[in-house]
């Protein structure tokens, strides 16, 4: 008989790998309101919500920034 075990990620690991809206705003030098507007318009970096709090994966934000950079370079060509 196989037993399925759900392993929960420790909260510290989640906090280490992700940014809050305020942390991201500081990192990319944009306001919290701008990030909220981007979420509403679905044009900003990917995000997820846990218990009503919004988080951004550092890895996904970096990929989003790179995609924005590539898009701008493509537009300039």
**Between 58 and 13, whose confidence is greater?**
58
Average pLDDT of span 24-53: 96
Residue pair 44/38 in contact by the 8 Å Cβ criterion: yes
Closest Cα to residue 56, out of 26, 7, 5?
26
**Where do the domains of the chain lie, and which CATH numbers do they carry?**
11-76 (1.10.1660)
Residue 77 or residue 36, greater confidence: 36
HSE-up of 1 (CA within 13 Å, CB side)?
A: 2
pTM of the predicted structure, to 2 decimals: 0.74
User: In this predicted structure, what is the pLDDT of residue 32?
Assistant: 98
Higher-scoring residue by pLDDT: 5, 44: 44
**pLDDT, greater one: 76 or 73:** 73
What are the backbone angles phi and psi of residue 5, rounded to the nearest 5°? -115, 125
């Amino acid at each position: 008989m196989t037993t399925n075990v759900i392993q929960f990620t420790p909260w510290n690991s989640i906090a280490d790998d992700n940014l809050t809206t305020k942390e991201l705003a500081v990192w990319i030098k944009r306001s919290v309101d701008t990030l909220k507007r981007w979420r509403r318009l679905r044009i900003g970096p990917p995000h997820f919500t846990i218990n009503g709090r919004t988080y951004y994966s550092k890895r996904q934000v970096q990929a989003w920034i790179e995609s924005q950079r590539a898009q701008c370079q493509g537009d300039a060509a």
